[in-house]
């Protein structure tokens, strides 16, 4: 049995991804050898496709999703579905033109949207893995995507595209399977995760693990560590925005201005109310253990891992690499993204850097559609 | 009875400020009318002085401490004491020359180092205030300092100096008691706290309040909300440093490199280990409820509060204002500090801005002593 997401087993108040219909579910028997040396005996991949694979099977584009997103990059095939996270960019005639390309987006290994993760059943025990799930890396996610492409009989990709955690996967594709990828388009990410990024992730993990309901990960079937996951998301949300966007949108506004008494200890500034809203929203749709494992995978992201050096890893790349930094990003400073492009060039990789000018911070790639659209179009037609 | 810090009542594992000897303790019967309209019947101020007050009583400088610091700005009078937080800057012949000036530093209202705060005994109930302590503001802290100066029969100050929360107090002094202050030296702070600053404080408060030991603040005598306060401090510590300082010092180094297995879920990067160390250190010496109240006071910091406008508040200022921004500060961007200087000038305040070039982030004012020393000297001799 594929170990897919099962609401009933987990029971309320366990989160679910409401309304999500999975297009495809593919399971393969392992063993999948992980970067750590550990083995997963069985892996299920949950994925979504858009457009048609042509007869020579060479028009595929792999889109990689970010930390808490899923394979629903667009809802083009079914307008009754909930909106995809890149809806304005995927569809007939759009930047990722489904008349032309076969778009694939799979849920990442370690997540909670159908692809094997810590909430999946461990075939050895019949119980959820929880914290017995092995530590995974971005490279492991890429290996699973490769297995999916094998299953789909796709031998080459026009492009691998992603932002943030998705961008890390795109870059890892270029290093791990250099001969399969024509173009890599990576947005708001880096070649190895920064120490300040690790710091914010560690704060988020502690928030979850401090929650008494977390119970060392064995909360399935019981109370969900809501408060912990909410705080983890609250912390992350600050880093996805920017000083500028917060000042413009909230400044020092109080929530419900008329009735507000700022001297009530629990009275909230509008920005606090916004953060708490975002925090509590995630709790309804994401698994806390997945949050732990995926942030850990981000922390471990280092293209050079296992190679003689970071430069040696870059020298494997055959794809053309397009990097997009975001001017106000405080999680991946634009200088850092630009620096990667420079280092790549030095190692003989054909790489280009552009900067998205936006006050919206890291999340701008999910907000500034016209700019991202132009960038994607330019890269794909280049 | 003055409601001073009492270790016994609180019991282990309650934090204490080890080795701290209070120089002076002054209690006055209120009522102290707070900005909120609430009243404190009795207030104790714990403070430290350095140097000699001259016969005309006009050589005093008030130094205001930051969030978790205390009145021990220097240990000059007793080399056996623990080091002060500005040791290299205070003493005979130093920037704050105790041969010349009478330096006063008092613990803030709402803190936990002897001045009245949430851990103090509520005279009405005989129990600690806990969350029945009223919400306080930076302005209230300044009022309490003014009462202390009255007690010391000091009618004017050569200067009020502080960084971060201390800088907020210094600026508030200039607005609240314009005729008492000759110079204000405010470092790494702003005239009203930013929404991203409020966001980080909200994350820290949630970390404390999520801790089951917090028990709505009534943990005195019981288990201390260690994990919550530690996480609050961990989050704050990230904002006190900078991407640059973290990359230089830690990068992607693993803790105990030789034995390290990065695929062990709980194995830590050096930066995580550092953050956890800093986090756990605070727990031994600070009260969680004080952390809540002092961060709330920061959030409420707005020089314009109660005046017709922010500009109107600035127009009250008679002191010369010296502002120092820190180039890599991510909590108070240097542009923000500089912006305040510009706004002040526009409102007729004689204000100067300088920038401390440092990779160390917000905390640079506690690290870059030579630069801070030059700045203080220049301001005082100007």
Q: CA B49 to CA B47: how far, in whole Å?
A: 7
- pLDDT for res B31: 85
**pLDDT classification of A301: cutoffs 50, 70, 90:** very high
**pLDDT classification of B22: cutoffs 50, 70, 90:** very low
By percentage, how much of chain B surpasses pLDDT 90? 82
ipTM for this prediction: 0.92
Give kind and range of the element (H or E) at residue B321: strand B320-326
A273: left (phi over 0), alpha (psi -120 to 50) or beta: alpha
**Catalytic, out of A65, A143, A360, A362:** A362
Asked whether residue B187 falls in the same domain as residue B221, the answer is no
- pLDDT for res A25: 67
User: Chain centroid to CA A319: how far?
Assistant: 21
**pLDDT classification of A13: cutoffs 50, 70, 90:** very low
pLDDT higher than 80, residue B285: yes
Strand-strand pairing, A157-163 and A181-187: parallel
Specify the residue for token string 């062990």: B264
Residue A2 lies in a domain: no
Q: Which residues contact A126 (CB under 8 A, 6 or more apart)?
A: none
Residue B357 lies in a domain: yes
- Catalytic residue at B329? yes
- pLDDT for res A9: 32
- pLDDT for res A12: 29
Give chain A's domain count.
2
Asked whether residue B29 falls in the same domain as residue B141, the answer is yes
Task: Please give the angle made by the CA atoms of A76, A80 and A82, to the nearest 5 degrees.
Answer: 75
Range from A244-253, B67-76, B330-339 carrying the lowest mean pLDDT? B67-76
Biggest distance spanned by C-alpha atoms of chain A: 68
The residue among A203, A209, A254 with the most chain B CBs within 10 A of its CB, best to mutate, is A203
Mean pLDDT for all residues in chain B: 90
Which long-range contacts link A121-126 to residues 24+ away (Cβ below 8 Å)? A121/A1, A121/A3, A123/A3, A123/A41, A123/A42, A124/A41
* End-to-end Cα separation, chain A, in angstroms: 44
Asked whether residue B149 falls in the same domain as residue B211, the answer is no
Q: Is the pTM of this model over 0.90?
A: yes
Provide the token pair at B32.
């102290």
Tell me which residue in A196, A234, A250 faces B243 most closely, judged by beta carbons. Answer: A196
pLDDT higher than 70, residue B2: no
Q: Which residues contact B280 (CB under 8 A, 6 or more apart)?
A: B226, B230
Asked whether the CA dihedral B57, B63, B64, B68 is positive or negative, the reply is negative
A195 and B247 within 8 Å at the Cβ level: the answer is: yes
Asked whether residue A309 falls in the same domain as residue A275, the answer is no
Asked whether residue A202 falls in the same domain as residue A189, the answer is no
When comparing pLDDT for A44 and A7, which is higher? A44
pLDDT higher than 70, residue A79: no
Asked whether residue B308 falls in the same domain as residue B343, the answer is yes
- pLDDT for res B3: 32
- pLDDT for res B19: 34
Range from A70-74, A157-161, A237-241, A317-321 carrying the lowest mean pLDDT? A70-74
Residue A85 lies in a domain: yes
Q: Is the peptide bond before B13 cis (omega within 30 degrees of 0)?
A: yes
**pLDDT classification of B18: cutoffs 50, 70, 90:** very low
The residue in chain B having the minimum alpha-carbon distance to the alpha carbon of residue A241 is: B196
Q: CA A378 to CA B271: how far, in whole Å?
A: 39
A99 touches chain B (CB under 8 A): no
pLDDT higher than 70, residue A81: no
Q: Burial-class residue B356 by CB neighbours within 10 Å (0-12, 13-18, 19+).
A: buried
- Across A242-373, the runs of DSSP E, i.e. the strands, are 320-326, 351-356
Asked whether residue B184 falls in the same domain as residue B96, the answer is yes
SS3 content of chain B, % helix, strand, coil (to 5): 40, 20, 45
**pLDDT classification of A258: cutoffs 50, 70, 90:** low
| Structural domain harbouring B116 | 7-194+302-381
Residue B135 lies in a domain: yes
B264 and A196 within 8 Å at the Cβ level: the answer is: no
Q: How much is the average pLDDT of B116-130? A: 94
B203 and A37 within 8 Å at the Cβ level: the answer is: no
Q: CA A103 to CA A158: how far, in whole Å?
A: 10
**CATH code (residue A27):** 3.40.50.1820
Which of A307, A324, A369, A379 is closest to A89 using CA atoms? A369
A57: left (phi over 0), alpha (psi -120 to 50) or beta: left
Q: Which residues contact A277 (CB under 8 A, 6 or more apart)?
A: none
**CATH code (residue B257):** 1.10.1740.110
Closest chain B C-alpha to A381 CA, distance in angstroms:
36
Q: Give chain B positions within 8 Å (CB) of A238.
A: 196, 199-200, 203
Which of B246, B270, B293 finishes a domain? B293
Provide the token pair at B332.
């108070």
Q: CA A323 to CA A340: how far, in whole Å?
A: 8
Q: CA A140 to CA A136: how far, in whole Å?
A: 6
**pLDDT classification of A28: cutoffs 50, 70, 90:** confident
**Residue A3 contacts residue A46 (beta carbons within 8 Å):** no
Strand-strand pairing, B157-163 and B60-64: parallel
Residue A1 lies in a domain: no
Q: How much is the average pLDDT of A315-321? A: 98
Helices and strands (H and E) in chain B: how many = 11, 10
Tens of pLDDT along A219-246? 999 999 999 999 999 999 999 999 999 9
Q: Which residues contact A320 (CB under 8 A, 6 or more apart)?
A: A182, A183, A184, A350, A351, A352, A382
Tens of pLDDT along B152-180? 999 999 999 999 999 999 999 999 999 99
Closest chain B C-alpha to A199 CA, distance in angstroms:
6
pLDDT higher than 80, residue A16: no
Q: CA A103 to CA A123: how far, in whole Å?
A: 31
- Catalytic residue at A211? no
Which of A258, A274, A293 finishes a domain? A293
pLDDT higher than 90, residue B4: no
Which of B293, B316, B333 finishes a domain? B293
Provide the token pair at A370.
């016209």
Q: How much is the average pLDDT of B190-195? A: 97
Q: How many CA atoms does the CB half-sphere of A96 hold within 13 Å?
A: 28
Q: Which residues contact A93 (CB under 8 A, 6 or more apart)?
A: A99
- Across chain A, the runs of DSSP E, i.e. the strands, are 24-33, 39-50, 60-64, 90-91, 96-97, 102-106, 157-163, 181-187, 320-326, 351-356
Specify the residue for token string 């709790």: A283
Asked whether residue B32 falls in the same domain as residue B168, the answer is yes
**Catalytic, out of B4, B329, B360, B363:** B329
**Residue B9 contacts residue B126 (beta carbons within 8 Å):** no
Length of chain A: 382
Range from A84-88, A183-187, A353-357, B172-176 carrying the lowest mean pLDDT? A84-88
**Residue A226 contacts residue A212 (beta carbons within 8 Å):** no
Asked whether residue A79 falls in the same domain as residue A165, the answer is yes
Asked whether residue B179 falls in the same domain as residue B284, the answer is no
- pLDDT for res A256: 75
- pLDDT for res A18: 32
Range from A7-16, A191-200, B52-61 carrying the lowest mean pLDDT? A7-16
Length of chain B: 382
Q: How much is the average pLDDT of A93-120? A: 95
B235 and A235 within 8 Å at the Cβ level: the answer is: yes
A251 and B131 within 8 Å at the Cβ level: the answer is: no
**pLDDT classification of A10: cutoffs 50, 70, 90:** very low
Tens of pLDDT along B235-272? 999 999 999 999 999 999 988 765 667 788 887 899 99
Residue B1 lies in a domain: no
Which of B343, B289, B232 is closest to B118 using CA atoms? B289
3-state secondary structure of B9: helix
φ, ψ of residue A228 to 5 degrees: the values are -65, -45
φ, ψ of residue A286 to 5 degrees: the values are -140, 150
**Residue B64 contacts residue B344 (beta carbons within 8 Å):** no
3-state secondary structure of B128: strand
Asked whether residue B136 falls in the same domain as residue B65, the answer is yes
**Catalytic, out of A164, A242, A290, A328:** A164
**Residue A162 contacts residue A170 (beta carbons within 8 Å):** yes
Asked whether residue A282 falls in the same domain as residue A331, the answer is no
Specify the residue for token string 């830690």: B250
Range from A188-192, A300-304, B79-83, B121-125 carrying the lowest mean pLDDT? B79-83
**pLDDT classification of A263: cutoffs 50, 70, 90:** confident
Tell me which residue in A135, A200, A292 faces B263 most closely, judged by beta carbons. Answer: A135
Q: How much is the average pLDDT of A15-33? A: 59
- pLDDT for res A40: 93
Residue A111 lies in a domain: yes
- pLDDT for res B382: 86
Residue B2 lies in a domain: no
By percentage, how much of chain B surpasses pLDDT 70? 91
**Residue B45 contacts residue B107 (beta carbons within 8 Å):** yes
DSSP code of A363?
Answer: G
In order, the DSSP letters of A96-138 are EETTT-EEEEEPPTTSSSSSS-TTSB-TTTSSB-GGGSPP--H
């Amino acid at each position: 049995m594929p170990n897919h997401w099962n609401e009933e087993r987990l029971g309320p108040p366990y989160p679910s991804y409401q309304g999500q219909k999975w297009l495809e579910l593919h399971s393969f028997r392992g063993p999948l050898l992980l970067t750590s040396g550990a083995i997963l005996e069985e892996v299920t991949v949950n994925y979504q496709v858009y457009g048609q694979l042509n007869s020579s099977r060479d028009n595929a584009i792999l889109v990689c999703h970010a930390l808490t997103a899923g394979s629903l990059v667009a809802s083009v095939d079914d307008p009754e579905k909930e909106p995809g996270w890149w809806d304005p960019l995927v569809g007939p005639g759009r930047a990722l033109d489904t008349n032309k390309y076969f778009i694939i987006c799979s849920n990442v290994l370690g997540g909670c949207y159908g692809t094997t993760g810590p909430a999946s059943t461990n075939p050895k025990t019949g119980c959820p893995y929880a914290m017995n799930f092995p530590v995974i890396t971005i490279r492991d996610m890429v290996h699973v995507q490769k297995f999916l492409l094998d299953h789909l009989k796709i031998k080459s990709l026009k492009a691998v595209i992603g932002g943030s955690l998705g961008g890390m996967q795109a870059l890892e594709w270029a290093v791990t399977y250099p001969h399969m990828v024509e173009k890599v388009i990576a947005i708001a990410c880096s070649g190895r995760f920064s120490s300040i990024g690790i710091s914010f992730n560690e704060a988020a993990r502690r928030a979850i693990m401090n929650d008494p309901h977390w119970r060392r990960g064995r909360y399935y079937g019981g109370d969900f560590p809501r408060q912990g996951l909410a705080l983890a998301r609250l912390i992350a949300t600050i880093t996805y925005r920017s000083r500028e966007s917060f000042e413009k949108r909230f400044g020092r506004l109080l929530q419900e201005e008329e009735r507000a008494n700022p001297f009530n200890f629990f009275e909230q500034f509008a920005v606090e109310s916004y953060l708490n809203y975002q925090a509590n929203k995630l709790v309804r749709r994401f698994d806390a253990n997945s949050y732990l494992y995926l942030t850990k995978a981000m922390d471990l992201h280092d293209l050079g891992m296992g190679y003689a050096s970071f430069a040696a890893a870059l020298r494997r790349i055959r794809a053309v690499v397009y990097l997009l930094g975001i001017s106000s990003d405080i999680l991946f400073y634009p200088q850092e993204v630009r620096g990667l492009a420079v280092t790549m060039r030095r190692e003989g990789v054909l790489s280009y850097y552009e900067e998205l000018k936006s006050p919206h911070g890291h999340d701008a790639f999910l907000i500034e559609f016209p700019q991202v659209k132009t960038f994607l179009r330019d890269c794909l037609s280049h």
